[in-house]
Chain A
Amino acid sequence: MTAAAATAPKPSLWRRAWDLSLLPAIAIGLALIFGAVLMILSSPLLGGFNLFLPITAYKALVEGSVGSLNSIVNTLVNATPLVLAGLAVGIGFKGGLFNIGGYGQFLLGALCATIAAIALNDASPWVAIPVAVIAGMLGGMFWGFIPGFLKAFTGAHEVVTTIMLNFVAVYLVSYVISGPLRGTGPEVTFARTDTFVAAELPIIIGRNGHLGLLFAAVAVPLAWWLLFRSTTGFEIRTAGASPDAARYAGMRPRWLIVLTMSICGMLAGLAGTVEWLGEVGYGQAFYGTTVGFDAIAVALLGRANPVGILFSALLFGAMQAGAGQMQAQAGIPPQMIAILQAVILFFLAAETVVRRVLRVRTAGTGVGTELQTVSRSYGEQATR
Protein backbone atom coordinates (compact mmCIF):
# COMPACT_ATOMS: atom_id res chain seq x y z
CA MET A 1 0.00 0.00 0.00
CA THR A 2 1.43 3.35 -0.96
CA ALA A 3 1.56 6.30 1.39
CA ALA A 4 -1.10 8.13 -0.60
CA ALA A 5 -3.50 5.23 -0.30
CA ALA A 6 -2.83 4.96 3.41
CA THR A 7 -3.63 8.60 4.12
CA ALA A 8 -6.60 8.79 1.75
CA PRO A 9 -10.00 8.98 3.48
CA LYS A 10 -11.70 5.65 3.99
CA PRO A 11 -13.93 4.98 0.97
CA SER A 12 -17.65 4.78 1.56
CA LEU A 13 -19.35 1.44 2.14
CA TRP A 14 -20.95 1.57 -1.32
CA ARG A 15 -17.65 2.31 -2.96
CA ARG A 16 -16.05 -0.64 -1.21
CA ALA A 17 -18.95 -2.94 -2.11
CA TRP A 18 -18.63 -1.85 -5.74
CA ASP A 19 -14.88 -2.47 -5.70
CA LEU A 20 -15.35 -5.90 -4.18
CA SER A 21 -18.20 -7.05 -6.37
CA LEU A 22 -17.35 -5.64 -9.79
CA LEU A 23 -14.90 -8.35 -10.83
CA PRO A 24 -17.01 -11.24 -9.49
CA ALA A 25 -19.97 -9.77 -11.39
CA ILE A 26 -17.92 -9.60 -14.59
CA ALA A 27 -16.78 -13.21 -14.05
CA ILE A 28 -20.38 -14.35 -13.55
CA GLY A 29 -21.49 -12.50 -16.68
CA LEU A 30 -18.70 -13.99 -18.80
CA ALA A 31 -19.51 -17.47 -17.45
CA LEU A 32 -23.17 -17.07 -18.38
CA ILE A 33 -22.13 -16.07 -21.90
CA PHE A 34 -19.83 -19.10 -22.09
CA GLY A 35 -22.68 -21.33 -20.90
CA ALA A 36 -25.02 -19.83 -23.49
CA VAL A 37 -22.55 -20.48 -26.32
CA LEU A 38 -22.08 -24.05 -25.13
CA MET A 39 -25.85 -24.59 -25.02
CA ILE A 40 -26.31 -23.25 -28.54
CA LEU A 41 -23.44 -25.40 -29.83
CA SER A 42 -24.87 -28.50 -28.18
CA SER A 43 -28.49 -27.79 -29.16
CA PRO A 44 -28.31 -30.10 -32.25
CA LEU A 45 -27.91 -32.97 -29.77
CA LEU A 46 -31.13 -31.84 -28.08
CA GLY A 47 -33.25 -32.05 -31.19
CA GLY A 48 -32.37 -29.25 -33.57
CA PHE A 49 -30.28 -26.10 -33.65
CA ASN A 50 -31.85 -23.53 -31.37
CA LEU A 51 -30.47 -20.04 -30.91
CA PHE A 52 -32.92 -19.30 -28.09
CA LEU A 53 -32.15 -22.36 -25.97
CA PRO A 54 -30.03 -20.35 -23.47
CA ILE A 55 -32.95 -17.97 -22.85
CA THR A 56 -35.31 -20.88 -22.13
CA ALA A 57 -32.68 -22.53 -19.95
CA TYR A 58 -31.68 -19.47 -17.91
CA LYS A 59 -35.35 -18.54 -17.48
CA ALA A 60 -36.06 -22.01 -16.08
CA LEU A 61 -32.97 -21.71 -13.87
CA VAL A 62 -34.22 -18.44 -12.39
CA GLU A 63 -37.77 -19.74 -11.95
CA GLY A 64 -36.51 -22.92 -10.32
CA SER A 65 -34.42 -20.98 -7.84
CA VAL A 66 -36.49 -17.91 -6.90
CA GLY A 67 -39.81 -18.40 -8.72
CA SER A 68 -41.91 -19.50 -5.73
CA LEU A 69 -41.66 -19.79 -1.95
CA ASN A 70 -40.71 -23.46 -2.24
CA SER A 71 -37.99 -22.77 -4.74
CA ILE A 72 -36.60 -19.91 -2.63
CA VAL A 73 -36.50 -22.23 0.37
CA ASN A 74 -34.83 -24.82 -1.84
CA THR A 75 -32.19 -22.25 -2.76
CA LEU A 76 -31.60 -21.52 0.93
CA VAL A 77 -31.34 -25.24 1.74
CA ASN A 78 -28.80 -25.73 -1.03
CA ALA A 79 -26.87 -22.64 0.02
CA THR A 80 -26.63 -23.64 3.70
CA PRO A 81 -23.78 -26.20 3.45
CA LEU A 82 -22.08 -23.94 0.90
CA VAL A 83 -22.10 -21.00 3.32
CA LEU A 84 -20.63 -23.09 6.14
CA ALA A 85 -18.08 -24.93 3.99
CA GLY A 86 -17.31 -21.70 2.13
CA LEU A 87 -16.47 -20.03 5.45
CA ALA A 88 -14.29 -23.06 6.23
CA VAL A 89 -12.24 -22.32 3.11
CA GLY A 90 -12.42 -18.53 3.39
CA ILE A 91 -11.17 -18.30 6.97
CA GLY A 92 -8.34 -20.62 5.91
CA PHE A 93 -7.43 -18.23 3.08
CA LYS A 94 -7.34 -15.34 5.54
CA GLY A 95 -4.91 -17.34 7.66
CA GLY A 96 -2.72 -18.20 4.66
CA LEU A 97 -3.96 -21.79 4.53
CA PHE A 98 -5.57 -23.66 1.65
CA ASN A 99 -8.16 -26.03 3.05
CA ILE A 100 -9.05 -28.59 0.37
CA GLY A 101 -10.28 -30.90 3.12
CA GLY A 102 -13.82 -29.55 3.17
CA TYR A 103 -15.17 -32.87 1.89
CA GLY A 104 -13.45 -34.93 4.58
CA GLN A 105 -14.38 -32.50 7.36
CA PHE A 106 -17.94 -32.45 6.07
CA LEU A 107 -18.07 -36.26 6.22
CA LEU A 108 -16.47 -36.52 9.65
CA GLY A 109 -18.91 -33.95 11.01
CA ALA A 110 -21.81 -35.82 9.47
CA LEU A 111 -20.50 -39.11 10.82
CA CYS A 112 -20.04 -37.91 14.40
CA ALA A 113 -23.45 -36.24 14.34
CA THR A 114 -24.90 -39.51 13.08
CA ILE A 115 -23.29 -41.52 15.86
CA ALA A 116 -24.76 -39.15 18.45
CA ALA A 117 -28.13 -39.03 16.69
CA ILE A 118 -28.47 -42.82 16.55
CA ALA A 119 -27.37 -43.20 20.17
CA LEU A 120 -29.97 -40.62 21.24
CA ASN A 121 -32.72 -41.72 18.89
CA ASP A 122 -35.13 -42.31 21.79
CA ALA A 123 -34.23 -39.14 23.69
CA SER A 124 -36.00 -35.80 23.58
CA PRO A 125 -35.15 -33.55 20.61
CA TRP A 126 -34.13 -30.88 23.12
CA VAL A 127 -31.26 -33.15 24.13
CA ALA A 128 -30.59 -35.00 20.89
CA ILE A 129 -30.28 -32.02 18.53
CA PRO A 130 -27.74 -29.98 20.55
CA VAL A 131 -25.67 -33.07 21.36
CA ALA A 132 -25.65 -34.27 17.74
CA VAL A 133 -24.77 -30.81 16.41
CA ILE A 134 -21.94 -30.37 18.91
CA ALA A 135 -20.68 -33.88 18.14
CA GLY A 136 -20.65 -33.03 14.43
CA MET A 137 -18.78 -29.80 15.02
CA LEU A 138 -16.21 -31.59 17.15
CA GLY A 139 -15.80 -34.31 14.50
CA GLY A 140 -15.12 -31.78 11.76
CA MET A 141 -12.85 -29.85 14.12
CA PHE A 142 -10.78 -32.97 14.73
CA TRP A 143 -10.44 -33.57 10.97
CA GLY A 144 -9.24 -29.98 10.57
CA PHE A 145 -6.98 -30.17 13.61
CA ILE A 146 -4.95 -33.06 12.13
CA PRO A 147 -3.67 -31.23 9.02
CA GLY A 148 -3.21 -28.05 11.07
CA PHE A 149 -1.13 -29.86 13.64
CA LEU A 150 0.87 -31.70 10.98
CA LYS A 151 1.59 -28.47 9.11
CA ALA A 152 2.58 -26.55 12.23
CA PHE A 153 4.80 -29.17 13.78
CA THR A 154 6.09 -31.37 10.96
CA GLY A 155 5.79 -29.11 7.90
CA ALA A 156 3.54 -31.53 5.98
CA HIS A 157 1.65 -29.27 3.59
CA GLU A 158 -2.06 -28.91 4.25
CA VAL A 159 -3.04 -29.12 0.58
CA VAL A 160 -1.75 -32.68 0.33
CA THR A 161 -2.70 -33.86 3.81
CA THR A 162 -6.26 -32.56 3.51
CA ILE A 163 -6.70 -34.29 0.12
CA MET A 164 -5.46 -37.54 1.64
CA LEU A 165 -7.69 -37.10 4.71
CA ASN A 166 -10.69 -36.66 2.40
CA PHE A 167 -10.21 -40.22 1.20
CA VAL A 168 -9.51 -41.56 4.67
CA ALA A 169 -12.81 -39.97 5.74
CA VAL A 170 -14.66 -41.60 2.84
CA TYR A 171 -13.49 -45.06 3.91
CA LEU A 172 -14.02 -44.37 7.60
CA VAL A 173 -17.63 -43.34 6.98
CA SER A 174 -18.14 -46.32 4.71
CA TYR A 175 -16.82 -48.66 7.40
CA VAL A 176 -18.73 -47.24 10.34
CA ILE A 177 -22.07 -46.89 8.58
CA SER A 178 -22.07 -50.14 6.60
CA GLY A 179 -20.68 -51.95 9.66
CA PRO A 180 -21.45 -51.14 13.30
CA LEU A 181 -24.01 -48.41 12.59
CA ARG A 182 -25.98 -50.12 9.83
CA GLY A 183 -29.69 -49.75 10.54
CA THR A 184 -32.09 -52.58 11.28
CA GLY A 185 -35.39 -50.94 10.34
CA PRO A 186 -37.46 -51.97 7.30
CA GLU A 187 -36.50 -48.82 5.41
CA VAL A 188 -32.84 -49.87 5.36
CA THR A 189 -32.45 -51.28 1.85
CA PHE A 190 -28.84 -50.16 1.29
CA ALA A 191 -25.86 -49.32 3.49
CA ARG A 192 -27.38 -46.65 5.74
CA THR A 193 -28.40 -46.09 9.34
CA ASP A 194 -31.88 -46.04 10.79
CA THR A 195 -33.82 -42.85 10.19
CA PHE A 196 -33.08 -40.08 12.68
CA VAL A 197 -36.07 -39.52 14.97
CA ALA A 198 -35.10 -37.24 17.84
CA ALA A 199 -32.14 -35.46 16.24
CA GLU A 200 -33.78 -34.64 12.93
CA LEU A 201 -33.68 -30.87 12.52
CA PRO A 202 -37.21 -29.40 12.57
CA ILE A 203 -38.61 -27.66 9.49
CA ILE A 204 -38.88 -23.93 10.17
CA ILE A 205 -39.96 -22.60 6.80
CA GLY A 206 -41.65 -23.93 3.66
CA ARG A 207 -41.51 -27.57 2.63
CA ASN A 208 -37.92 -28.39 3.56
CA GLY A 209 -36.38 -25.31 5.17
CA HIS A 210 -34.76 -26.88 8.23
CA LEU A 211 -33.18 -25.40 11.34
CA GLY A 212 -29.74 -25.57 9.69
CA LEU A 213 -30.58 -22.40 7.73
CA LEU A 214 -30.40 -20.51 11.02
CA PHE A 215 -27.00 -21.98 11.81
CA ALA A 216 -25.66 -20.70 8.51
CA ALA A 217 -27.29 -17.32 9.09
CA VAL A 218 -25.64 -17.05 12.51
CA ALA A 219 -22.27 -18.36 11.33
CA VAL A 220 -21.76 -15.48 8.88
CA PRO A 221 -21.79 -12.59 11.40
CA LEU A 222 -19.87 -14.73 13.89
CA ALA A 223 -17.15 -15.41 11.33
CA TRP A 224 -17.07 -11.73 10.40
CA TRP A 225 -16.73 -10.77 14.05
CA LEU A 226 -14.03 -13.38 14.59
CA LEU A 227 -11.98 -12.22 11.62
CA PHE A 228 -12.35 -8.45 11.83
CA ARG A 229 -13.25 -7.60 15.41
CA SER A 230 -11.46 -10.09 17.65
CA THR A 231 -7.82 -10.31 18.67
CA THR A 232 -7.62 -13.90 17.46
CA GLY A 233 -8.92 -12.87 14.06
CA PHE A 234 -6.34 -10.10 13.86
CA GLU A 235 -3.63 -12.63 14.64
CA ILE A 236 -5.00 -15.08 12.07
CA ARG A 237 -5.01 -12.38 9.40
CA THR A 238 -1.53 -11.20 10.33
CA ALA A 239 -0.17 -14.74 10.14
CA GLY A 240 -1.92 -15.08 6.78
CA ALA A 241 -0.52 -11.88 5.34
CA SER A 242 2.96 -12.49 6.66
CA PRO A 243 3.96 -15.34 8.98
CA ASP A 244 7.28 -13.66 9.72
CA ALA A 245 5.60 -10.42 10.79
CA ALA A 246 3.33 -12.42 13.06
CA ARG A 247 6.31 -14.14 14.64
CA TYR A 248 8.18 -10.87 15.23
CA ALA A 249 5.05 -9.35 16.75
CA GLY A 250 5.11 -12.07 19.39
CA MET A 251 2.26 -14.13 18.00
CA ARG A 252 2.62 -17.85 17.71
CA PRO A 253 2.09 -18.76 14.04
CA ARG A 254 2.21 -22.49 14.72
CA TRP A 255 -0.67 -22.40 17.16
CA LEU A 256 -2.51 -20.03 14.88
CA ILE A 257 -2.25 -22.60 12.09
CA VAL A 258 -3.66 -25.31 14.36
CA LEU A 259 -6.41 -22.99 15.59
CA THR A 260 -7.37 -21.77 12.11
CA MET A 261 -7.54 -25.26 10.65
CA SER A 262 -9.60 -26.45 13.64
CA ILE A 263 -12.09 -23.60 13.18
CA CYS A 264 -12.27 -24.37 9.44
CA GLY A 265 -12.83 -28.05 10.15
CA MET A 266 -15.53 -27.21 12.68
CA LEU A 267 -17.45 -25.12 10.15
CA ALA A 268 -17.19 -27.74 7.41
CA GLY A 269 -18.20 -30.37 9.96
CA LEU A 270 -21.25 -28.28 10.82
CA ALA A 271 -22.08 -28.20 7.11
CA GLY A 272 -22.10 -32.01 7.04
CA THR A 273 -24.07 -32.13 10.28
CA VAL A 274 -26.93 -29.92 9.10
CA GLU A 275 -26.98 -31.62 5.70
CA TRP A 276 -27.48 -35.09 7.19
CA LEU A 277 -29.61 -34.12 10.18
CA GLY A 278 -31.74 -31.66 8.23
CA GLU A 279 -31.84 -32.73 4.61
CA VAL A 280 -30.92 -36.43 4.31
CA GLY A 281 -32.46 -37.68 7.55
CA TYR A 282 -30.16 -40.69 8.05
CA GLY A 283 -26.50 -41.64 7.76
CA GLN A 284 -25.23 -42.93 4.41
CA ALA A 285 -22.18 -45.14 3.82
CA PHE A 286 -21.52 -43.68 0.37
CA TYR A 287 -22.26 -39.99 0.21
CA GLY A 288 -20.89 -38.32 -2.86
CA THR A 289 -20.87 -34.55 -2.63
CA THR A 290 -18.89 -31.87 -4.37
CA VAL A 291 -19.42 -29.45 -1.49
CA GLY A 292 -15.71 -29.45 -0.59
CA PHE A 293 -14.65 -28.20 -4.01
CA ASP A 294 -17.72 -26.00 -4.48
CA ALA A 295 -16.73 -24.34 -1.22
CA ILE A 296 -13.42 -23.28 -2.77
CA ALA A 297 -15.35 -21.64 -5.60
CA VAL A 298 -17.68 -19.98 -3.08
CA ALA A 299 -14.81 -18.65 -0.99
CA LEU A 300 -12.95 -17.27 -3.99
CA LEU A 301 -16.02 -15.67 -5.51
CA GLY A 302 -16.80 -14.16 -2.11
CA ARG A 303 -13.24 -12.87 -1.85
CA ALA A 304 -12.76 -14.81 1.40
CA ASN A 305 -15.02 -12.28 3.10
CA PRO A 306 -17.89 -13.74 5.19
CA VAL A 307 -20.46 -11.43 3.63
CA GLY A 308 -19.14 -12.14 0.15
CA ILE A 309 -19.21 -15.85 0.92
CA LEU A 310 -22.87 -15.56 1.95
CA PHE A 311 -23.78 -13.97 -1.38
CA SER A 312 -21.77 -16.36 -3.52
CA ALA A 313 -23.16 -19.37 -1.61
CA LEU A 314 -26.66 -18.04 -2.29
CA LEU A 315 -25.80 -17.74 -5.97
CA PHE A 316 -24.45 -21.28 -6.22
CA GLY A 317 -27.28 -22.59 -4.05
CA ALA A 318 -29.75 -20.94 -6.40
CA MET A 319 -28.06 -22.52 -9.42
CA GLN A 320 -28.22 -25.95 -7.77
CA ALA A 321 -31.86 -25.44 -6.82
CA GLY A 322 -32.82 -24.37 -10.33
CA ALA A 323 -30.84 -27.06 -12.14
CA GLY A 324 -33.73 -29.53 -12.01
CA GLN A 325 -36.19 -27.14 -13.62
CA MET A 326 -33.60 -26.20 -16.25
CA GLN A 327 -33.30 -29.87 -17.17
CA ALA A 328 -37.06 -30.38 -17.20
CA GLN A 329 -37.87 -27.35 -19.37
CA ALA A 330 -34.82 -26.95 -21.60
CA GLY A 331 -33.25 -30.42 -21.49
CA ILE A 332 -29.95 -28.99 -20.23
CA PRO A 333 -28.14 -31.53 -17.99
CA PRO A 334 -27.56 -30.31 -14.41
CA GLN A 335 -23.80 -30.63 -14.95
CA MET A 336 -24.09 -27.22 -16.61
CA ILE A 337 -23.92 -25.79 -13.07
CA ALA A 338 -20.47 -27.28 -12.51
CA ILE A 339 -19.36 -25.87 -15.87
CA LEU A 340 -20.61 -22.40 -14.93
CA GLN A 341 -18.85 -22.61 -11.55
CA ALA A 342 -15.57 -23.62 -13.16
CA VAL A 343 -15.77 -20.84 -15.74
CA ILE A 344 -16.56 -18.23 -13.07
CA LEU A 345 -13.49 -19.41 -11.17
CA PHE A 346 -11.44 -19.32 -14.36
CA PHE A 347 -12.20 -15.66 -14.99
CA LEU A 348 -11.51 -14.85 -11.33
CA ALA A 349 -8.17 -16.68 -11.51
CA ALA A 350 -7.30 -14.87 -14.73
CA GLU A 351 -8.27 -11.62 -12.98
CA THR A 352 -5.21 -9.68 -14.08
CA VAL A 353 -5.96 -10.52 -17.71
CA VAL A 354 -9.66 -9.65 -17.35
CA ARG A 355 -8.67 -6.31 -15.83
CA ARG A 356 -6.29 -5.55 -18.65
CA VAL A 357 -8.66 -6.54 -21.45
CA LEU A 358 -11.74 -4.83 -20.01
CA ARG A 359 -9.79 -1.91 -18.51
CA VAL A 360 -11.33 -2.39 -15.08
CA ARG A 361 -9.94 -0.11 -12.41
CA THR A 362 -11.04 -1.06 -8.92
CA ALA A 363 -9.19 -1.54 -5.67
CA GLY A 364 -7.14 -4.68 -5.09
CA THR A 365 -8.72 -8.02 -4.40
CA GLY A 366 -9.50 -9.51 -1.05
CA VAL A 367 -7.56 -12.73 -1.42
CA GLY A 368 -4.43 -11.69 -3.28
CA THR A 369 -1.92 -11.32 -0.46
CA GLU A 370 -3.12 -14.30 1.53
CA LEU A 371 -2.99 -16.55 -1.52
CA GLN A 372 0.58 -15.49 -2.10
CA THR A 373 1.39 -16.79 1.36
CA VAL A 374 -0.42 -19.99 0.48
CA SER A 375 1.35 -20.62 -2.81
CA ARG A 376 4.72 -19.64 -1.41
CA SER A 377 4.38 -22.32 1.22
CA TYR A 378 4.06 -25.34 -1.10
CA GLY A 379 7.79 -25.74 -1.53
CA GLU A 380 8.63 -24.79 2.04
CA GLN A 381 8.21 -28.26 3.47
CA ALA A 382 11.90 -28.71 2.85
CA THR A 383 13.07 -25.82 4.97
CA ARG A 384 11.16 -26.48 8.18
Chain B
Amino acid sequence: MDAPTYPPATAYEPPVAAPYELSVETVSIAELMSAPAAWAIVLKHAPAFKMIVTAPQTKAYLTNFTVDSFVTYGVVSQATIDAIDVDLRQLPRSEWPAQ
Protein backbone atom coordinates (compact mmCIF):
# COMPACT_ATOMS: atom_id res chain seq x y z
CA MET B 1 0.00 0.00 0.00
CA ASP B 2 1.21 3.50 -0.83
CA ALA B 3 1.08 6.30 1.68
CA PRO B 4 -1.10 9.17 0.46
CA THR B 5 0.44 12.57 -0.01
CA TYR B 6 -1.07 15.98 0.52
CA PRO B 7 0.92 18.38 -1.63
CA PRO B 8 0.50 22.13 -1.32
CA ALA B 9 -1.50 24.07 -3.88
CA THR B 10 0.18 26.60 -6.10
CA ALA B 11 -1.55 29.90 -5.39
CA TYR B 12 -4.47 31.45 -3.63
CA GLU B 13 -7.48 32.62 -5.57
CA PRO B 14 -10.61 33.44 -3.61
CA PRO B 15 -13.10 30.60 -4.07
CA VAL B 16 -16.26 31.54 -5.89
CA ALA B 17 -19.34 31.82 -3.68
CA ALA B 18 -22.45 29.94 -4.78
CA PRO B 19 -25.98 31.38 -4.58
CA TYR B 20 -27.91 30.44 -1.44
CA GLU B 21 -31.34 30.67 0.13
CA LEU B 22 -31.79 32.55 3.38
CA SER B 23 -32.46 30.14 6.24
CA VAL B 24 -31.52 29.47 9.84
CA GLU B 25 -28.54 27.44 8.66
CA THR B 26 -27.14 29.58 5.86
CA VAL B 27 -26.30 32.80 7.63
CA SER B 28 -24.37 33.53 10.77
CA ILE B 29 -25.81 35.40 13.69
CA ALA B 30 -23.49 38.30 12.90
CA GLU B 31 -25.01 38.49 9.42
CA LEU B 32 -28.55 38.30 10.76
CA MET B 33 -27.78 41.10 13.20
CA SER B 34 -26.64 43.25 10.29
CA ALA B 35 -30.05 42.96 8.61
CA PRO B 36 -32.73 44.65 10.78
CA ALA B 37 -35.68 42.80 9.28
CA ALA B 38 -34.00 39.43 9.62
CA TRP B 39 -32.88 40.11 13.17
CA ALA B 40 -36.38 41.25 14.09
CA ILE B 41 -37.66 37.85 13.01
CA VAL B 42 -35.15 36.12 15.26
CA LEU B 43 -35.99 38.25 18.28
CA LYS B 44 -39.71 37.89 17.68
CA HIS B 45 -39.50 34.14 18.07
CA ALA B 46 -36.56 33.92 20.46
CA PRO B 47 -36.04 37.09 22.52
CA ALA B 48 -33.30 35.25 24.41
CA PHE B 49 -30.96 35.96 21.50
CA LYS B 50 -30.82 39.61 22.54
CA MET B 51 -28.96 38.45 25.64
CA ILE B 52 -27.10 35.57 24.00
CA VAL B 53 -25.27 37.81 21.55
CA THR B 54 -23.86 39.94 24.35
CA ALA B 55 -22.67 37.03 26.50
CA PRO B 56 -18.87 36.79 26.75
CA GLN B 57 -18.99 33.09 25.79
CA THR B 58 -20.68 33.81 22.46
CA LYS B 59 -19.59 37.33 21.55
CA ALA B 60 -16.37 36.25 19.82
CA TYR B 61 -18.15 33.58 17.83
CA LEU B 62 -21.01 35.43 16.22
CA THR B 63 -19.66 34.72 12.75
CA ASN B 64 -19.33 31.04 13.73
CA PHE B 65 -22.84 30.59 15.05
CA THR B 66 -26.15 30.32 13.32
CA VAL B 67 -29.32 30.56 15.35
CA ASP B 68 -29.74 26.87 14.60
CA SER B 69 -26.49 26.22 16.50
CA PHE B 70 -28.17 26.94 19.78
CA VAL B 71 -30.46 23.93 19.57
CA THR B 72 -27.39 21.85 20.31
CA TYR B 73 -26.74 23.77 23.50
CA GLY B 74 -30.34 23.49 24.65
CA VAL B 75 -30.85 27.26 24.59
CA VAL B 76 -33.69 27.25 22.05
CA SER B 77 -36.02 24.53 20.87
CA GLN B 78 -36.09 23.05 17.41
CA ALA B 79 -39.70 24.27 17.10
CA THR B 80 -38.58 27.86 17.68
CA ILE B 81 -35.83 27.53 15.12
CA ASP B 82 -38.28 26.04 12.64
CA ALA B 83 -40.57 29.03 13.11
CA ILE B 84 -37.70 31.45 12.53
CA ASP B 85 -36.76 29.50 9.44
CA VAL B 86 -40.23 29.79 7.95
CA ASP B 87 -40.22 33.56 8.38
CA LEU B 88 -36.66 34.02 7.13
CA ARG B 89 -37.42 32.12 3.95
CA GLN B 90 -40.24 34.58 3.21
CA LEU B 91 -38.05 37.63 3.65
CA PRO B 92 -37.58 39.59 0.41
CA ARG B 93 -34.04 39.48 -0.94
CA SER B 94 -33.74 43.22 -0.41
CA GLU B 95 -33.95 42.60 3.33
CA TRP B 96 -31.26 39.94 3.39
CA PRO B 97 -27.94 40.53 5.07
CA ALA B 98 -25.43 42.28 2.83
CA GLN B 99 -22.72 40.03 1.42
A binds B: no
Hey, which bits of chain B sit against chain A, CB under 8 A?
none
Hey, which bits of chain A sit against chain B, CB under 8 A?
none
